[in-house]
Amino acid sequence: MFQFNNNNNTRTPTTPFPLYANQRRSSPSYNKPPSKVVSIPVHFVGSERNRANSATKIQKFTRGFLVRKSLKKMLKMKV
């Protein structure tokens, strides 16, 4: 929302809530340097599996799903 100032024909922004007008900062907060740098570990010790174990686990769940799916089809045909 803008209002025209008759004195110098410039736009001055107005806020619908005048209480917040005084809380504006002269510089944005994203220009401030961080107060503390924290490093986040990417790899946790002992949490990495090898590829063979991961592939076996995926295959196990896929085969179980396919067996349950085909078993449901067979039970529907029998009834």
In this predicted structure, what is the pLDDT of residue 41? 75
What's the distance, CA 52 to chain centroid? 31
Q: In which band, very low, low, confident or very high, does the pLDDT at 17 lie, cut at 50, 70 and 90?
A: low
The domain segmentation of the chain, as residue ranges, is: 51-79
Q: What is the DSSP string of 30-45?
A: GGSPPS------SS-T
End-to-end Cα spacing for the chain = 71
Per-residue pLDDT of 1-10, as tens digits, reads: 555 555 555 5
Pick 76 or 17 by higher pLDDT: 76
Spatial separation of the C-alpha atoms in residues 55 and 50, rounded to whole Å: 9
Per-residue pLDDT of 30-79, as tens digits, reads: 677 768 888 887 766 666 678 888 899 999 999 999 999 999 999 998 76
Q: Quick one: which H or E segment has residue 56?
A: helix 51-78
Dihedral pair phi/psi, residue 64, rounded to 5°: -60, -40
